[in-house]
Each structure stands twice: as C-alpha cells, then as structure tokens.
Structure 1
Amino acid sequence: MPLVAAVTLAWALVLLTPLLVRLAGRYVGWSLGLGLLASYAILVGARDGGVVFEELPWVPALDIALRLRMDGLSFLFATVVLVVGAIVLIYSTSYLRARASTGFYMMMSAFAAAMLTLVLADDIVVLFIAWELTTICSFLLILRSGQNARKPATRTLFITAGGGQALLGAVVLMIATTGTTQLSAILADDVWRDDPVITSVVTVLVAVAAMTKSAQFPFHSWLPDAMVAPAPVSAYLHAAAMVKAGIFLLMLFAPVLAETTLWHVILIPVGLVTNIMGAVFAIRSKDIKQIFAYSTVSQLGLLVAVIGIGTPLAMMAASAHVIAHALFKASGFMAVGVIERRTGTRDVRELRGLWRGMPWLSPAIVLAVASMAGVPPLLGFVTKELVIDTFASSGSSLAIGLTVTIVGGAALTVAYSVRLLVPIMVGPRAEVAPWRDSAVMSGSVAVTGIAGLVLGVGVAGLTGLVRPAAAVSSGSPVADLPTLYLWHGFTIPLLGSVAALVAGTALALFYLKSSHAVEDNVPGTLTATGIVQATLDGIISSGHRVGNLTRHDSPAANLAVPIGLVAAAAFALPSLWRGMPEHVMGFDYVDALLLAMVVIGTVVVVRARSRLTALIMLAVVGFAAVLWFFVLGASDVALTQLLVEVLTVVVLVLVLNRMPRMFDKGTRVRKSVTVPIALLAGVTATLATLTFSGHRDLSDAGAFFLSEAEELTGGTNVVNTILVDFRALDTLGELVVLSITAVSLTALLDARRLSRTRHVPVAPTILQDPVRNVIILRDSGRFLIPVMIVISLYALVRGHGAPGGGFIAALIGAAGLATVYHAAPTNRVASLDRSYLGIAGIGIIVAVVTGFLGFAEGSFLRPLHLDIAGIHVTTALIFDLGVYFAVLGVILAAINRLGMPQPIPADAPTPTEARTS
C-alpha cells in the first residue's frame, strides 16, 4: 500500500523529529528533507499513469475511512508539497544555524504531512481534518516567531479557521445529500446535475473556504500579516502549503461546480480584483518580504480567475502555473532570508549593489524574479502565455475585456518585479556578511531559481505532470489536452506578454523616479488588517459583556440562573404531564425510609450554620442514594456512588480546613426568594423525570446491550462493556477531561497559593496529640491498606464480568492511598509525594495506544479478543487499565495538592502581593 506508506512516513517524521534533533543536531533538516523525498519516491514508484486507490477502515459505522487516492491532480500537488518541503527543510539547517529547534522542525514536518494527507485524501472527512491541521500548523509556526507574532497569528487563525467552518458546512451538506463520505463517489454523484440548490450552496461554501485559505479579497490581509514568520515558514507557506490548499480545493471541485454560473461569477471577479490589488500593494511596499507577500496575493488571484474560467486550457494553465509559482516563490522567500542574514535589512531603500556583493546568489534571485515577471525563456513566461491564451480563447462575450485586464495585471507584475530588482542590484558593491554561514541557504535558492530556467527551456518535459492534473480538474480526457511548448509562434498571448513587459518596465522606472519610491508608507485610516483586528476586538469585547452578566465569585450567584430556569420550567409541565407512572403507584417502606433520609439530610444541609455539619449531612444524602441504587439492583452504579461519596468527603474536608468554619448568615429577604425557587426547581426536576422517562419502557439501545453484550464482548457486566467496548470513545473523552481538570487544578494552585490552615485552639486533651490520636488508624492501616490495593486490582480484573472495572477499581485504590494520608500524624507524607499528573498521563497514553490496536480489527478502539492458555483475554482490559491510571492519578493529585504543603519558589509572591496584583 504505497499511498498509506508515503503518508505514514510523512507523519512518522513528525514523531521522530525529537530523536533526529538529538542525533543530528542543527543538521536535522537534511534528515527530514530526505525523508520527504523518500515519501515522494514511494509515490513516484506507485504511479502507473492511472488512478491509485487505497483504503483503511476508521469509523465503519459512519462510513469514514482513511481513503487515499492518487490521480494526476493529487500527484501534481504532492510533488510540490514534498519536493519544495524538502528543499525548505534543508535550507532551514543553515537558517537556524545557532541551534536546532525541535518545535520548529516538528511543526514544519507536520505542515508537510498535513498537506500530503490533504491532497491524497479520498474521504471528505479526512480532507477536512487535514485542512484544519494545516490551519493549526500555520498558526503555531507564526505564533512561535516572537513577541510581535501573537496578533498576526491570531488574525491569521481567525480568517482561515472561519473558512474552515464554511468547508465544514459544505462537507456536512455533501455527506447528507449523497449518503457517503468517499470523495470520488461524491464528485460522481448525480446531485450536482439534479439539484441546483445544493450545488449553489456548496459552490458558495467551497469558494469561501478556498478564498480564505488562498488569501483572496476580502480575506487577503492575513497573508502579508503573516510575514512576521521566519523565511523558511514564509517560503513553504507561500510556495507549497496553506495557500496551495485553497487552489487544490478549487481545482478538485471544478469538474462538478464549473457547470454553474455562480462558480464563474464568484471566482473570476474575485480573482481579477485580487490580482490587480495585490500587484498595486506590492509596487508600493518598501520591504522585500512584503513585496513578495503581496505578489503572492496577486498571483493567487490570477490562479483563482483562471480556475474560474474552467476550460481544459484554463486548467492546463492553472496546473502549470502551480509549479512555476511554487518555484519562484520558494526561491524568492528563501532569498529574502539570505539577504536579511547577510545585510541585516529587508528595506529596499537601504539595499544597493547586491549584484557585486553577492555574485553567486544574485543570478538565482534574478532568475526567480524574472520567472515571476514572465520573462522568456523561464517557466513563468510559458505559464503567463497559457493564462493569456485562456482568457483570449474563453469564448465569452467579455473575452476582450478579460484579456486586457489579465495583460494589465501581468504588466503590474513586471512593474513590481523591476521595482524590486533594480534598486537592490545596481550600485556600488554592498557590504555583506561572509557567504560561508549561508552556503546551504544560497544553494537552496539557486536550485529553485535555476529549476525555473531549466523547466522553462525544457517545458515539454512537464507535459506528463501537467496534463493529467488538468484532465482531472477539467473532467476532460488527457489526450484532448495540448502539449506544453516554449515557443508557440507570433500569437496574441505573445503580443500580450511583450506588451506587459514593456508597459511594466516603463511603469516601474517611472515609479522609481518618483518620491513615492523612497518615502515611508503612510498608514491609512482603514486597512484590511485593521478591520480584522477591530472585528476580533469587538468579538472579545462582546464576549466579556455577555460574560459579565453572569460572572460572579459566589457559587450561589452562578447557580441562580440554571436553577431559576429549571424552576421556571414548572409552568410548562402541566401541558406535558401524563399522570403518575403505573409502576410507582404502590407504597414501599424501603423507598419511604430512603426518601425520609434524603429529605431530612437536605433540610439539615440547608439549615446548617457549620460547613462541616453541612458536609456530613450531604454525605448522608449521598449514602441514601447509594442504598437506593443497591435496592434497585444497580450494584455497579451504587458502588461507584459510594466510593465517590467517600473521596468527595475526603477532598472537601481538605478544602474546608482552609475556609471559615461557619457560613455567612443569610438575610430573610434572600431566604424568602431562594427557598421557594430551590423547592420549585427540585419539584420540577422530579416531575420532569417522571414525565419524560417514567412512562417509557426499556429503550432499544438498552435492550440491545442486555441481549448482545455477552456475545459481542465476552463480558457479562453490561455497564462495564458499555464503558470499555461499545462507547470506549466517550470514556476516552471523559478521561481527557478529567486529566485537563487535574492540570487546571495544579496550575490554579501554583498561581495562587493556598491560604494557611486555620488552627482552632482546643483544650489540652489526648485528641490534641496527633501521634496518639491516629494510632488506631495507623496500625489498622498496615493491614487494611494492602488489602484495599489488592481489592482494587481484583475489581479491575473482574470488571468485565462482574461489578467492578477501571473506574471503580481506581476509586478503591485512591481510598486506600488516602488512608495513608489520614493515618499520618502530620500533613507531610513522603510516601505519597509523587507525580500523580504523570500517572494520569500514562493512563491516557495507555488508553490511546489500546485504541490504535483496534485498527487490527478495522477501527479505532475496537477491542481485540484472544484466547491464551484457555483464558479469554480482551484489549478492553488494557483500556480499562488506562482508565484506572487516569482516575487514580487525578484523585491523588487533588489530595496531594490540597492536603500536603508544596515547596514555595524563592521568587513566589507573598499572599499580600498576590492579592494586590
């Protein structure tokens, strides 16, 4: 399975990066670059001229699978992603010469792996996940660029993630309409021909998603804004990743959406406006990197407009220009990194004489910029002629106007290219740093720059790569598409190219003589970046205002809204009430006794003035609920509730030890309002339960679990089989939430130290002696604690067939270890001072790894069943072990952090400083 192998290798590089950094140091980029080239070699070996399809099950119940498909279009983009990615990673070994950054290389490798997954995906869900992963990778790579990168990274995430939501809407609509997640099946469905409404909605959603990713007007601001990222990130983002994802999406859906007028109406005007606008901004820029950034916006607009034409020739032009654009953009941005490294500036007004100062690098830079400008015989010239020919032969009534517009955009491209090259190349020899430290960087620039020349002269050799991609994106046979040539004779496209070169050069020279070329740009009162930032600030400010309506330090105030809403629901119950369920009409003395315990305990809790009294009576209510569960036969639930009640009391006692002994005395007015609301809410909740579930028999799901659990899982404890077999993914999510809670608790207690324990003076009695006071618990604990640990492990093992399981077992084990703390004469218990967050993390890892074992049977978290020496074994037990570790770690972390004193850092603020900060 070569496609799976190629994708797996790409993602394996991400996981292996820390090890490779340790082994190779700053040269790790070579290893990662060669790894990407190895992945590309696998794809080249698998390419036989046809379509390669592979599939691995993932979520069979939802028809989601790791489906991979390599056709001409996906192979073209995979070539760009992997080859340019390899060059950029090798370039980075010299750019990051001081040290190897593990985080940088992991994110860059993940960027490449996500893009490869995206272009090879044949499952719409997998494509969407990879699409969002590219968004996350770009955000993190920009964010880690320095202190000034936070806002640009946030603005980038805001725009691109918004486009992701549009794509999500399209994905859901396509799955719901076609009934499948297989991308090739979706594209071949009749819905595109039979349902114009669905087609139009998907057209808008896909176009918006692609335009946000490819920085089209009005979503263009994020791309120049992201230039705070280092040169390798910019080179890869502009040349082969992120922005290319949007172009790929448009070309992928073009065969089915290009039949609608809306497709052309959206893409062509937006693309042309972006093309002209980006070129104008590039001419006015003074920063070399910003010139290249706006030129990317302009070139992407050109690609979008060409895709909007949708003809086979248009797709031929788009496919060829994807390669040309990748080469001159990678070369350009990597060159910016070299120039900045060797001169210390990117300001075009400060740079002079680079042709003499960098005699080996300057020709490569000139080749890259000349290809961007469309100068013959470079590859950019070939693709520019194809683009002009596309509009001239489009057959539209607007063909002349569109062609003139494209030629005008090409002239502006020449203008900003000349405006960039002339000032920095001419003049006396520039003072630059030695070339040796940037030799690899210069070599990478030269490779991509010279490639544009070689592939321009020998462009016919690209036909085998470009024609299959154009055939897929246009829905035409490969044989109907033309061969690429450098020279087509004296044609309209050639006339347009010459006109663009002449007009663009004249415009650039005129601009360079004006004062605008040297004066600082005056920031306008209204900019795209400012609009995005203002929108973000407005959203955050609105969130604060909404949150302030219910934000309060008092738990009672926070609970007032939900309890009040529950109470208000009582007025709707009469219309829904269907009478008392038949099976609760009889009188049962046990139920009456337990109900009395709950009522008495609740009344005492409400009237208690002492916090400890309230806690004790709250435990009484909990124990009454435990007995009720036992009476009803829910032994698993009852045992869980019992252990939770015990450990809750333990943790709350530790909290109460640092709080006032008595509650604040409430006013009569407050009681007169809160008591009726609380009573009404309780009555409403009870009656609502009887209304919605009291008349219902056992659900179909419940009947299925009872009848099929043993046969399907081998377990007779239905509750446990639901948790670790049928709904293991839910359980895994709950473990993650528990662990995040423990981490948050630790972070909170580290940020705000606990108040001192309140010492209440007592009479000098034997109770005052801590050593003698715990002697009974300590001596009994020597036998009791090991027994509880053994019982804990026994409950873990037996959980699949009898009451028990990882959660209950962890509670028993935590209770046993908590006894060690209670039996100690002081709160300093060295034996319990362990990294319990680490234990919880191990539990998550065990659960996740067990989930991946399920792929042997077809899907994540599917249990495997084995018979070893006549004993039936299931991987659900290993998953339950992960549950055990995670729950045990979380509970003991709480006891450890709340009960035992933590070392105070030397630079920690005092309580007074913390309160005033």
Structure 2
Amino acid sequence: MSLILTLLVVAALVPLVPVLTRLLGRQAGWVLAAGLLLASAPLIHGSAGTQTVSETVAWMPTVDVALRLRLDGLSMLFALLVLGIGAVIMAYSTSYLTDRRPSGFYTLMTGFAAAMLLLVLADDLVVLWVAWELTTVCSYLLIARSGPTAGPPATRTLLVTVAGGLSLLGAVALVAARTGTTELTAALAHPAWGADPVFGTTVAVLVAVAAMTKAAQFPFHSWLADAMVAPAPVSAYLHAAAMVKAGIYLLMLFAGAASHAPVWPVLLVTVGLLTAVMGALFALQRHDMKELLAYSTVSQLGLLVAVIGVGTTEAMLAASVHVVAHALFKSAAFMHVGLMERRTGTRDLRRLRGLARSMPWAATMITLAVASMAGVLPTLGFISKEMIFEAMLGAPAAAAVGWLVALVAAAGAVLTVAYSARVILTLLPGAAPEVRPWRPTASMSAAISLTALAGAVLGVAAWLPADLVRNAAAATAGTPLAEVGGVYLWHGFGGPLMLSVLAIAAGVLLTVWRGHTDRLLDRALFPGSGVRAVQALHDGTIAFGRRVGALTRSNAPAAHIATPVVLLGLAGLGVVAVWPGAPPTLRPHALDVGLLVVLVVGIVTVVRARVRLTAVIATGVVGFSVAVWFFVLGASDVALTQLLVEILTVVIMVLVLRRMRPHFAPVGTRRSVLAAAAALAAGITATLATLAFTGHRPLSPAGEHFLREAQSLTGGTNIVNTILVDFRALDTFGELVVVAVAAMAVSALLTAHPAVEGTPQPQVDNPLSDPQRNAVFLTVLDRFLVPLMLLGSLYALLRGHTAPGGGFIAALLGTCALALAYLSASSARTRMLQRPYLAIAGAGIVVAVATGALGLFDGSFLRPLHAEVLGVKLTTALVFDVGVYLAVFGVILAALRLLGTPSADLPGRQPSMPPDQPHTDVRQTGGALP
C-alpha cells in the first residue's frame, strides 16, 4: 500500500500543523519538510523502476467510484516535484515567516501539497476532479489571507480557476457516460476517443480549457500576475510545483486520448505560442521583479503547452525535462525575491543595485536560476529548450509548419533572454547597498541554493534525471521506454542549436539596445487588460444578478407565493390531458367525510381570520386533521411526524407572532377575489394530479423491493425508517447537513439582527396577566410530562428500526418536551433551553460522518454494518439515527432559544433597554402564550 501510505502521511500532516506550530512556531516548517520527504520514500520504493503500481480503496461502488491511485512515470515525475519542492519551500518558510504561530499558512500549504499529490496519483475521474477543486480552494485561501488588499485578486483568481473546474467537470461527466467507467486508465484507453469524433473533440476542448485556466494560458493568463499579492513561499510553490503544474499535468495525462481530435494540436500549439510570446513581452515591461517572474511563468507555460500539442514522443520528453527545469529555476527565483524583500526591503528593479557586492552568494544563485530560465549552456534549462526546438522542428506536419512553430517559439526565447539579462544587469552591478544581516535568513539562502544549484548540476549531469523524465515521456506518449530518446547536454550542430544561438544573440542585442526596449516599460500595449476583463465580468455578473433578483425582491409573501400558485393552476391543463377518470376504488368513508369537513372549516377560518393568533390556531386544526387522516390511512410514521411538527410549528409561530401586530393588514376586495381564484385553481390541480399520478397505478417496483427485501437486508420491519437510514442514508445525510446549516443560519441571523421585542401591553389585573398564575396548570404537568416525554423520545429512537419511530420522530418528541418546559416556565430564561444548540447539531453531523466511515470497512460509505450480540441484533443504522436525532434536536432548540429568549440575553448582544430601567419579563410584554 505504498501509494495509500504516501497519501496518508501527507494528509496526516494537515491536522498536526496546529500542534506543531504551537510547540515549535515557525520552525515547524522543518518537521513538515521532513514529513513531505518521508512521504516520497514509499513512492520511490514502490515504483520499482518502470513498473506501474495501482491501488484501490472502495468508496462508492454502486456508481463505480473508488479511491483509485496509480503510479506510472508521469505521476511519479509530478509527485516528486510536489513533495520535493514542497519540502524545500517549507524549510524556506521557517526564516521567511514573521508570525510566531503561522498555523494557518502551514495548514493551507500542507493541504495544498496533499491535494496536488492526490491529483497526480488519482486513477479515478471523480477523485481527479475533487483533487482539482481542492487545489483551487487552497490557492484561493492562501492568496486571500495575504493581506487586506488580497481579497479582489483572490476572488478573480477563484473565478477563472473555478470556470476551469466546471469545464473539467463537464469533461469528466462526458467521459464517464460515454465509456461507462470512472476508472481513468480504462476511460483513456476506450476506443470511443477515435471512433466518436464528436465525443473526442468535445472532451478535448473541455480538458484544454480546464488546463489552460490553471496553466494561465491566454485568455486566462491574468490571474497569475494578479495573484502575486501572495507571499514568496506561496508564489514559489504555486508556480513551481502546484497550481499551474496541475494544468500541465492534465494536458499530459489526456494527451494520448485527446490527440485523436484534430482540434487538440491546433488549439494547444496556437494558444501556447501566443501565450509564450505575449507573456515574455509583458515580463520585459515590468519593474516589479515578482511580477516579471509571474509573466515569465506565463511565457514558459505557453512553451510547455505548445510542445505538448506537438504530441510526439520527443515532444513529451522535452515537456518532461522542461517541467523539471522550470520547477527548479522558478522556485529559486521566487524564493530569491522573498530573500531580497527581507534583506533589502524592496523588489523594485529600479531600486536594486550592487547585490554582487552586498549579497555575493545570493547573487550567484539568482544568476544560475536566471541563466537556466534563459536557456544558457550548461544548465538544465538549456537542455530542455534545445529539446523543445528539436521536437517542434520534427512535428508530424509539413516541414514549413515545423519551422514556423519553432521560429515563433524562438521569438519568445529572444524575449526571455532579454528580460533575464535585464534582471542580472540591474541587480548585480553598482555600489553595495545596505542590507540586513544574513543569519536570520540562512534557511532561505539554503533553499534557494539547493534548487538553483540543482538546475545547474542537472544540466552537466543530465544522466541523473534521465530515467525519471524518460519514464514520464513513455507513459504520456504511450510508447515503450526503449523508443524514448536520451537526455544529453550536447545535441550536436543543427536547427535547434542554431535557434538557441540566435535567441541568445538577439536577446543580448535587445539588452544592449535597451534604450529602445525600455520604451515599452509601463506602456499599455493593448486597450484593455486581463485583470480588468475579469473584474468587469465579475461586476457584470453581480449587476445582472441584482437585476434578476429585483424581479422578486419584495417583502410581501403574496409576491412569492403567486408564481408557484399560478403555475400550479396552469398545470391543471396538463392534468386534464392525462386524467383517466376517477379510480374505481374511490369510495369515501364517513370518517373521511368528517375529516374533510374539519379541514374545510379550518381553511375557511384561516382565510377569514383577521387576527394572526386565530389564523395560527386554525392552521393547527388543519394540520392536526391531516395527521389524523394519516393515522386512518395507516401511515403511522408520517402521522407521528405531522403531529409533532404541527405542535412545534404552532409554538414557534406564536413566538414569532408575539413580536408582530395582532391583526392582519386590511386587503382589498379585488385582491381577495384574485387570491381565492388562484388558490382554488391550485388546489383543484393538486388534487387531480395526486389522483392521476397515484390512484391509477400499482406500487412502484422500488416500493415493492423495499417491502419485499427490507427485513432480510436490514433486519428492520419499519419500511419508512429502513429507507431513511439504510437504503437511502446518503440522502438523509445530505438533509442532516441542510438541517445543521439551518441552525447556523438561524443563529447568525438572530444574533446579528435580533428580533424586535413586542410592544408592552397595558397590565390588567386578572389571573392571565401574571405568568406564574397563568402557567400553574402547565407547571404541574411539566413535572411529570417532560421526563416522560424525554424517556418516550429515547424509546422512539431505539425502536425506530422495527416500529414507528426513529431519529427524526424521537427528536421532535424530545423538543416538544423542551417546548412544554418553556411554556410552563415563569420566565423566558428557562434553564432547559440553555444548551449549546450548534454543538448539538454539529455533533449529529459528526456522528453521521463517523458512522458512514465505518461503512467503508464493508466497501461503501454509509453502508450499515450488522452484528448479533447475545441474541440482540445490532446495526450501525441506529448510530446513524442518533446523528439524525442530534441534528434535528439542535436546530429546533436553536429556534426555541433564539426566538423565545429576549434579544438582550442572546450571546454577544447588549441589553436593548436603558441600564436604569428594570427588566420586564417577556411574558409581561405581550409574550404570554395561550
């Protein structure tokens, strides 16, 4: 289990970060660096040379989704970059950070590494997409926490990359639907890529767009420079081994399958070359060294995208070598920017001079990194550039096309040499400036030296990374390793060397004549910019949303109810078309008629009520009548739920109504007539639809399956409960999350904006004006009923699997006990409600998740486990039902406490009355319940 072990090691570091930073502070980076390096050991050991390793852990077998991991040459290359560069940057951060306990930074960086590792090891389409989105979230949070001005750039970055995530989601859905599997290896090998051109072209475009958003290709390039508000370690990791490399990995992963679509090479080569030249030109314009390096990354990634589009084995080998070279020189360069910020206080090239005298070692390292970036002999960057030119000249097209592609790439290389030389000629010469001591930044210098020297040494000793990159190229191109060429410093005389010499010479000339090129500085080359375009799209989307929202922005309930009611009425026309007549079994009984009369009386009372409390009571009558009807029809579970919901609804509605005027506002005759007509039409339609869709067909196959198999499969005889906690537990889990979010929303709303207190009413000397005398009857019952109801709640919870009950009904019964205790108390500050409702609701989610995780031992999340102890049948579905109980209990407790407690007593609120005014009990201010 080497792959699972590697992933678990990195994932385990994330929750350990707070502990480590508490103990070690910034120096926790050393432990995290060691952990990342340790995680790479199983990969290296388990790969066994060119052998492909696959591991699978069941996740959702019913939809063929599993935690499938696969290690081949390509994933090995990127996994080692993720872990190796990540370890270097963690060590670098121990000197760079200024916070004593940088828990947030280290947590997100470690989570970023875990997400990237999962991405490059994933062999399942769904897992791949989940990891892709996790990298998006981590990068957004790392950028957003960088300072008060980081919000807009982080948002723009999120918009662009999330758009790419949606594109990838579309590709994943299409591939899974067309190939019939979510296993990535099988899906990429499916014959549909070549046999179905529409499918292949659509998926190829979707994947290319997704990758280009992360790899900052035109027109999605703006976010990369915009994200430079992030600190140097984040930028170094994001550019060298994380975010942008995710896009490159995706292109290389899908290259073999997507290349069947003719649009794939054209799209990648065209966009890549355009981005390479444009990014280099923008980099030549920048004074801010960090921004210069950002546009340099855009340019280098464009070169990578173009050579991946060529698609040959030589092109994939060149791309693999350049991935390594780029990771080394770009991480060194960005870390050097952070070092300059710490020691000189600036990164503006116009204010930096004489680093060769003041920081000689750092100056040497940045020279090595920039030389590799410019492709100067004998660095690894020189080798990768030569190989890229050679692959383009050998493209599987006409020779003229190959030369055209190579010449455009060489034009980008000319500009790369020019801005690289500008950096060196600006930083190194001149008098030595005053800099801060080097000792506090020793680990920063060491990290820079490691990556910069690696880029130079691997150029001379090209045989060291040869096996790694050759395996990656073989896996990407789908060719045997024996057919992949070697990696050499010297490729002989030929077209690639000629283009390299011309690029370096022309770049040097541009530097010598920089008086002419300096005219480009701070000059807008185009009428707009990518950042402004993304911001305009963001602002336009919000403005459009406001316009759409304005159509329904009204506080009047009628405005919101009108649309569904009218639509229901219109739907009656469709019901008439499918209406087959009254069912032959439609023979009402006397009890049905009686209940119908009670319903009609209740509805008429609600419609004619002018006092809010009267309407609430009448609504309760209607609800109780429906509950009785459910009992008559034999739906005891539904009836219990309806009954308890009605009780709690009446209580909570009264808590709300006591803060409102007692009477409804008068309504005109015309509006009343229209409302009555719409209500009658909707009611008739709903009745006919119910009869048409349920009264003329037998029980559905799913229903028959539940009735037939529920007891044998689950051990339960309560079909409703077994559906909720066994067969469709995932749906119930989603509802629990909604319930917990509702509790948080109620708490946030009523804590931030407390409910208006009721208007004090004139006191009348009668038994009802005194809350203690008014509640004598309830107080007596409270002593016996509340404990009895709580015991009944526990009993309903335990028996739910075999008889009417379950977590939802039990929670409703328990909260009814709380409501009774509240109503019988003389003050709204009853101790029964002083419970941590959010913690209770959250505990329900935790219990549900933990129960679901137990199901993984039997192959699927939330699959119930069954056992028999001393003749008693036990099931984890009962534990899951406890989670249901806690979540529902928490949200209703939140409503009772927040609505039934004076606003001045809520957490974090100040009393709303003057300090010298005595507090009046809530029940003496119009809050007494009938």
TM-score (norm 1): 0.97
After superposition, residues 231-250 of structure 1 pair within 5 angstroms as 231-250=232-251
Structure 2 counterpart of 1:495, from 471, 482, 498: 498
Shift of 1:678: 1.2
Q: Which residue of 1 aligns with 2:540?
A: 538
Q: Judge conservation of contact 2:307–2:319 (CA < 8 Å) in 1.
A: yes
Shift of 1:260: 3.2
Equivalent residue letter for 1:560:
A
Higher mean C-alpha displacement, 294-303 vs 27-36: 27-36
CA distance in 2, matches of 1:660, 1:161: 47
- Identity score, percent: 55
CA distance in 2, matches of 1:39, 1:695: 62
Equivalent residue letter for 1:881:
V
Q: Which residue of 1 aligns with 2:789?
A: 788
Q: Which residue of 1 aligns with 2:43?
A: 43
Q: Which residue of 2 aligns with 1:877?
A: 878
CA distance in 2, matches of 1:785, 1:909: 31
Q: Which residue of 1 aligns with 2:579?
A: 577
SS in 1 for 2:150: helix
SS in 2 for 1:56: strand
CA-to-partner distance for each residue in 1:764-801, whole Å, 9 max, x for gaps? 11222222222232232122111111111111111111
Q: Which residue of 2 aligns with 1:548?
A: 550
Equivalent residue letter for 1:315:
M
Q: Judge conservation of contact 1:314–1:387 (CA < 8 Å) in 2.
A: yes
CA distance in 1, matches of 2:454, 2:139: 26
CA spacing shift, 1:857–1:786, aligned 2, 3 Å: same
CA distance in 2, matches of 1:55, 1:538: 45
Q: Judge conservation of contact 1:289–1:333 (CA < 8 Å) in 2.
A: yes
Q: Which residue of 2 aligns with 1:482?
A: 485
Equivalent residue letter for 2:579:
W
CA distance in 2, matches of 1:727, 1:76: 41
Equivalent residue letter for 1:541:
A
Q: Which residue of 2 aligns with 1:163?
A: 164
Q: Which residue of 1 aligns with 2:15?
A: 15
Shift of 1:582: 2.2
CA spacing shift, 1:408–1:622, aligned 2, 3 Å: same
CA distance in 1, matches of 2:419, 2:524: 19
Equivalent residue letter for 2:571:
A
CA-to-partner distance for each residue in 1:258-278, whole Å, 9 max, x for gaps? 233211111111110000000
CA RMSD, 1 decimal: 1.7
CA-to-partner distance for each residue in 1:609-663, whole Å, 9 max, x for gaps? 1100000010000000100110111101100111111111111111111010011
CA distance in 2, matches of 1:478, 1:515: 47
Q: Judge conservation of contact 1:331–1:449 (CA < 8 Å) in 2.
A: yes
Q: Which residue of 1 aligns with 2:843?
A: 842
CA distance in 1, matches of 2:19, 2:600: 61
Q: Which residue of 2 aligns with 1:416?
A: 419
Q: Judge conservation of contact 2:217–2:271 (CA < 8 Å) in 1.
A: yes
Q: Which residue of 1 aligns with 2:528?
A: 526
Shift of 1:100: 2.5
Structure 2 counterpart of 1:465, from 461, 465, 468: 468
Q: Which residue of 2 aligns with 1:726?
A: 727
CA distance in 2, matches of 1:880, 1:411: 67
Shift of 1:421: 1.9
After superposition, residues 28-177 of structure 1 pair within 5 angstroms as 28-48=28-48, 49-177=50-178
Higher mean C-alpha displacement, 134-143 vs 562-571: 562-571
Q: Which residue of 1 aligns with 2:328?
A: 327
Equivalent residue letter for 2:530:
A
Shift of 1:245: 0.9
CA-to-partner distance for each residue in 1:693-729, whole Å, 9 max, x for gaps? 2212111111111111111111111111111111111
Q: Judge conservation of contact 1:378–1:456 (CA < 8 Å) in 2.
A: yes
Q: Judge conservation of contact 1:713–1:725 (CA < 8 Å) in 2.
A: yes
Q: Judge conservation of contact 2:201–2:262 (CA < 8 Å) in 1.
A: no
Higher mean C-alpha displacement, 818-827 vs 616-625: 818-827
CA distance in 2, matches of 1:721, 1:515: 74
Higher mean C-alpha displacement, 255-264 vs 368-377: 255-264
Q: Judge conservation of contact 1:742–1:837 (CA < 8 Å) in 2.
A: yes
Q: Which residue of 1 aligns with 2:509?
A: 506
CA distance in 2, matches of 1:205, 1:15: 35
Q: Judge conservation of contact 1:217–1:274 (CA < 8 Å) in 2.
A: yes
Q: Which residue of 2 aligns with 1:440?
A: 443
Q: Judge conservation of contact 1:753–1:911 (CA < 8 Å) in 2.
A: no
Equivalent residue letter for 1:574:
V
CA spacing shift, 1:903–1:762, aligned 2, 3 Å: closer
Shift of 1:830: 3.2
After superposition, residues 67-466 of structure 1 pair within 5 angstroms as 67-397=68-398, 398-466=401-469
Equivalent residue letter for 1:349:
R
SS in 2 for 1:455: helix
SS in 1 for 2:349: coil
CA distance in 1, matches of 2:485, 2:518: 47
Equivalent residue letter for 1:422:
L
SS in 1 for 2:356: helix
CA-to-partner distance for each residue in 1:584-616, whole Å, 9 max, x for gaps? 2x1311111111111110110011011000000
Q: Judge conservation of contact 2:811–2:889 (CA < 8 Å) in 1.
A: yes
Q: Judge conservation of contact 2:641–2:809 (CA < 8 Å) in 1.
A: yes
Equivalent residue letter for 2:483:
D
CA distance in 2, matches of 1:194, 1:729: 37
Shift of 1:748: 1.0
Structure 1 counterpart of 2:564, from 562, 565, 570: 562
CA spacing shift, 1:41–1:646, aligned 2, 3 Å: same
Q: Which residue of 2 aligns with 1:915?
A: none
Q: Which residue of 1 aligns with 2:652?
A: 651
Q: Judge conservation of contact 2:68–2:183 (CA < 8 Å) in 1.
A: yes
CA distance in 2, matches of 1:20, 1:286: 39
CA distance in 2, matches of 1:420, 1:710: 75
Q: Judge conservation of contact 2:866–2:876 (CA < 8 Å) in 1.
A: yes
CA distance in 2, matches of 1:818, 1:910: 25
SS in 1 for 2:182: coil
CA-to-partner distance for each residue in 1:744-767, whole Å, 9 max, x for gaps? 111111221221223333531122
Shift of 1:515: 4.9
SS in 2 for 1:802: coil
In the alignment, structure 1 segments of 5+ residues that lack a partner are 913-917
Higher mean C-alpha displacement, 11-20 vs 66-75: 11-20
CA-to-partner distance for each residue in 1:187-214, whole Å, 9 max, x for gaps? 1111122112211111111111111111
CA spacing shift, 1:580–1:511, aligned 2, 3 Å: farther
Q: Judge conservation of contact 2:751–2:909 (CA < 8 Å) in 1.
A: no
CA distance in 2, matches of 1:905, 1:895: 14
Higher mean C-alpha displacement, 72-81 vs 192-201: 192-201
In the alignment, structure 2 segments of 5+ residues that lack a partner are 915-930
CA-to-partner distance for each residue in 1:512-566, whole Å, 9 max, x for gaps? 576537x644596411111111111111111110110011112221111111211
Shift of 1:165: 1.3
Q: Judge conservation of contact 1:792–1:813 (CA < 8 Å) in 2.
A: yes
Q: Judge conservation of contact 1:367–1:449 (CA < 8 Å) in 2.
A: yes
Q: Judge conservation of contact 2:818–2:832 (CA < 8 Å) in 1.
A: no
Q: Which residue of 1 aligns with 2:900?
A: 899
Equivalent residue letter for 1:551:
R
Q: Which residue of 1 aligns with 2:754?
A: 753
Shift of 1:161: 1.0
CA-to-partner distance for each residue in 1:851-907, whole Å, 9 max, x for gaps? 111110001111111122222111111111111111111101110011112437899
TM-score (norm 2): 0.96
Q: Judge conservation of contact 1:26–1:100 (CA < 8 Å) in 2.
A: yes
Higher mean C-alpha displacement, 428-437 vs 92-101: 92-101
CA-to-partner distance for each residue in 1:225-245, whole Å, 9 max, x for gaps? 111111111111111111111
CA distance in 2, matches of 1:512, 1:785: 88
